């Protein structure tokens, strides 16, 4: 195998990792009712089959990025797959609520090791050739929506024709394949001397985990409840402690001055707000299809296919060309603005609407916006950091997107419920609630476009005939 083709095979494995990390959040949706029946979940704690994964994933991403820098991205990539394999086997074999939730948290921990090391490996493989880096980031980015939609499909098929444990067992052969292929495909090296900031790792993991926990729990117990504010206050205290520890240590988990790198903070804010707008749209669009238009889970997944296909086309073909011609900043601003327009259009959904009129055109506009904004903001966030801190930068941008997603979904869930989305069976009320969530997500996207326009620096784009760097600006 030539070195050139080997790199693209390696990119395929990196894209598979992104695909799997996202698929594991969506594949369980259809299986939840049967998991509840077999394991004895209450309606109140069933959502934690999803949330346990998200909390562990979001809470451990920065630590995963630092471990990637210290011990080598290839080693942490393989370790993450091994942890995901163990967690998936345990989740499928679980015979109680506690074991199931613990296993899902282990899966999230594995994903938190895989995600930042995968991006670091991508930069090691393609970072020296800017034109190929843009293409590689596009393929990597397109794997996420593909994983989300595939999860809905596979979850329905597996639950219908096999049994719910197989939504977890499906990870096992893929993890075995990844573990076998990693030594042959991925570059060695990348490790460096340094100490692991245990106190910093503990405080940031507790802080991020508590923040995500409080956010995803708030719609259930109430934003005004003492429990919500106590958990979020604990998160603030832990994160403040983390900042203090980082400022005092010679070898911190996260060098605070990393945010002085031009555009790194601005690009991470764009990723945070992109997740906060996109994930609620995807979630409530699914609910509108199923609870208002009456689609079952499998046709609902099929209805998301046009949007997913457009995102993949946009990320792979449109975004790289647009970045080459206009530069990253205009594409981030334009993408977020187009996403806001699509969400505003989706807010016009009707109680007795149709897929072709109420969903398809607006969802395609939103998908176009997502595909234009995601790649340039991701590339800018990663390439702004020093090469030896690639794992940390990858962990930061993954954390930004995941925390933004959790915050946006929790906030829009509260908005939707206050507008009528909790009145099951009342189609006008449900539609009003979902419409309010689309409006809220659209406002987030519009604010993201404004902030990106004010904070991202601009560089001159290169002609398409020359290598076009994913520049910080």
Q: What is the 3-state secondary structure (H, E, C) of 235-294?
A: HHHHHHHHHHHHHHCCCCCCCHHHHHCCCHHHHHHHHHHHHHHHHHHHHHHHHHHHHHCC
- CA 98, 102, 103, 107 dihedral sign is positive
DSSP 385: S
Residue-by-residue pLDDT tens, the chain, 473 positions: 556 678 889 999 999 998 888 888 778 876 777 788 888 877 656 767 877 887 788 778 888 888 888 888 899 999 999 999 999 999 999 989 899 999 999 999 999 999 889 988 888 888 777 778 878 888 888 887 778 777 877 877 787 778 889 989 999 999 999 999 999 889 876 666 666 778 888 888 888 888 877 877 777 788 788 888 999 999 999 999 999 988 888 878 777 877 777 788 899 999 999 989 998 888 788 778 878 898 876 677 778 888 888 988 888 888 888 888 888 899 999 999 999 999 999 999 999 989 999 999 999 999 999 989 988 898 888 777 777 676 777 778 878 887 888 788 878 888 888 888 878 778 999 899 999 999 999 999 999 999 999 998 875 443 333 333 333 33
- If DSSP codes are grouped into helix, strand and coil, which group holds residue 4? helix
User: Is domain 261-473 given the CATH code 1.20.1250.20 in the classification?
Assistant: yes
Tell me the C-alpha distance between 377 and 266, whole Å: 9
DSSP 388: G
- Match domain 1-191 to its CATH number in 3.30.390.50, 3.10.20.30, 3.30.300.180, 1.20.1250.20: 1.20.1250.20
């Amino acid at each position: 195998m030539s070195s050139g083709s080997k790199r693209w095979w390696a990119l395929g494995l990196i894209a598979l990792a992104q695909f799997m990390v996202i698929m594991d959040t969506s594949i369980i949706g259809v299986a939840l009712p049967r998991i509840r029946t077999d394991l004895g979940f209450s309606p109140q704690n069933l959502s934690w089959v999803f949330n346990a994964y998200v909390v562990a994933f979001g809470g451990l991403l920065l630590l995963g990025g630092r471990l990637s820098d210290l011990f080598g991205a290839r080693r942490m990539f393989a370790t993450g797959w091994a942890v995901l394999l163990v967690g998936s086997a345990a989740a499928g074999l679980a015979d109680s609520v506690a074991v199931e939730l613990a296993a899902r948290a282990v899966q999230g921990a594995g994903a938190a090791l895989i995600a930042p090391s995968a991006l670091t490996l991508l930069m090691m493989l393609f970072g020296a050739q800017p034109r190929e880096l843009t293409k590689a980031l596009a393929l990597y980015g397109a794997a996420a929506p593909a994983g989300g939609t595939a999860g809905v499909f596979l979850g329905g098929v597996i639950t219908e024709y096999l049994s719910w444990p197989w939504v977890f067992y499906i990870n096992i052969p893929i993890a075995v394949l990844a573990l076998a292929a990693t030594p042959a495909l991925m570059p060695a090296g990348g490790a460096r001397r340094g100490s692991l900031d245990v106190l910093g790792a503990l405080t940031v993991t507790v802080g991020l985990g508590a923040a995500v926990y409080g956010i995803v729990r708030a719609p259930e117990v109430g934003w005004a409840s003492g429990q919500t504010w106590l958990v979020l206050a604990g998160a603030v205290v832990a994160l403040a402690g983390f900042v203090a520890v980082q400022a005092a240590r010679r070898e911190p988990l996260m060098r605070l001055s990393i945010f002085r790198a031009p555009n790194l903070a601005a690009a991470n804010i764009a990723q945070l707000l992109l997740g906060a707008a996109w994930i609620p749209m995807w979630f409530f669009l699914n609910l509108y299809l199923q609870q208002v238009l009456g689609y079952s889970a499998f046709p609902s997944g099929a209805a998301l296919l046009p949007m997913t296909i457009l995102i993949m086309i946009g990320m792979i073909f449109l975004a790289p060309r647009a970045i080459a011609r206009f530069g990253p900043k205009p594409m981030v601003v334009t993408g977020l603005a187009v996403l806001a327009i699509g969400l505003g259009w989706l807010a016009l959904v009707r109680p007795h609407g149709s897929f072709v009129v109420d969903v398809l055109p607006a969802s395609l506009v939103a998908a176009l916006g997502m595909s234009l904004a995601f790649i340039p903001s991701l590339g800018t966030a990663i390439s702004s950091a020093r090469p030896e801190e690639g794992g940390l930068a990858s962990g930061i941008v993954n954390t930004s997107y995941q925390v933004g997603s959790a915050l946006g979904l929790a906030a829009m869930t509260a908005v939707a419920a206050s507008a009528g989305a909790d009145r099951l069976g009342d189609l006008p009320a449900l539609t009003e609630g979902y419409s309010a969530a689309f409006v809220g997500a659209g406002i987030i996207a519009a604010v993201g476009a404004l902030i990106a326009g004010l904070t991202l620096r601009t560089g001159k784009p290169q002609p398409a005939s020359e290598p076009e760097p994913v520049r910080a600006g």
